[in-house]
Amino acid sequence: EKLASIGRLSAGIVHEINNPLNYVKSAIFLLKKKSKNAPPELGESITRICGDIGEGVDRVSAIVSDLRTFAHPENRGARPIDLHLTAEKALRLLAKEINDRGVHLSLDIPPGQLALGDENYTIQILINLVQNSLDALEGHSSPAIRLYIDATEKNVILAVADNGPGIPEDVQASIFDPFFTTKEVGQGMGLGLSICHRMMTQMQGDIQIRTRLGEFTEFRLLFPHAAAPDSQPASLPA
């Protein structure tokens, strides 16, 4: 129900933001056109400013496009997805919080890295894991999060690691249970990791945890290797 509510909210935001964005894009186009008739020095200044505005509008458009992922979750076929592009979409939605908290983030996923899965699910999982890392790093003197690729013969592994305090062994056994949480009352319902686990299972994958107290926590998303380009998308189990 929570994810469905996010979808409905995102659909409304996408519609409301796209309309004024189109007005801004049209205005930039007309302003650039008129700048050709301005004196050279003024024309160059206008073109430069329009370029800056256009870059900002493109960034907003990218964020709106990412939100659309939540608004249209109907595509649930397991198919080859680009993990680099998928991670970038997830991180764009958290960029302000990452910067505000002064966290050093490393994205070590090569462009074109494919795995078999679902982009919508993977974005939601990454947002949840990175958000958990941000919370765990609160008060850390040198907070860092790293997303990187590992691989085995069977799986492509997308790891989300932080240099936070780690997770006690007695907590690890229950960490994927619904409604289990170590956060204060009102700060979480304990559904995030349970939902992540369910989504990975539905994508025919798995999620594992590696951690050491006082040093790090790493969640490892195990995806099947991408199917051959001419193969048909597999149906996800209900």
User: Phi and psi (nearest 5°) for 172?
Assistant: -55, -35
The pLDDT of residue 2: 61
User: Phi and psi (nearest 5°) for 74?
Assistant: -75, -20
- For residue 162, the number of C-alpha atoms closer than 13 Å in the C-beta half-sphere is 22
Question: What distance in Å separates the CA atoms of residue 104 and residue 146, rounded to the nearest whole number?
Answer: 8
Higher pLDDT, 10 or 153: 153
Question: Measured between alpha carbons, how far is residue 192 from residues 3, 180, 188 in Å?
Answer: 11, 9, 8
Place of tokens 């409905």: 8
CB-CB contact of 91 with 98 (8 Å): yes
Alpha helices in 36-165 (DSSP H): 40-71, 83-100, 119-136
Percent of the chain exceeding pLDDT 70 equals: 78
pLDDT at 185 over 70: no
How many Cβ atoms sit within 10 Å of the Cβ of residue 112? Answer: 9
112: left (phi over 0), alpha (psi -120 to 50) or beta: left
Among candidate residues 6, 232, 228, 225, the one with its CA nearest the CA of residue 117: 225
Task: Provide the mean pLDDT of the chain.
Answer: 81
Per-residue pLDDT of 72-108, as tens digits, reads 554 455 789 999 999 999 998 899 999 999 999 999 9
Q: What is the mean pLDDT of residues 180-187?
A: 47
Per-residue pLDDT of 102-126, as tens digits, reads 999 999 999 999 999 988 889 889 9
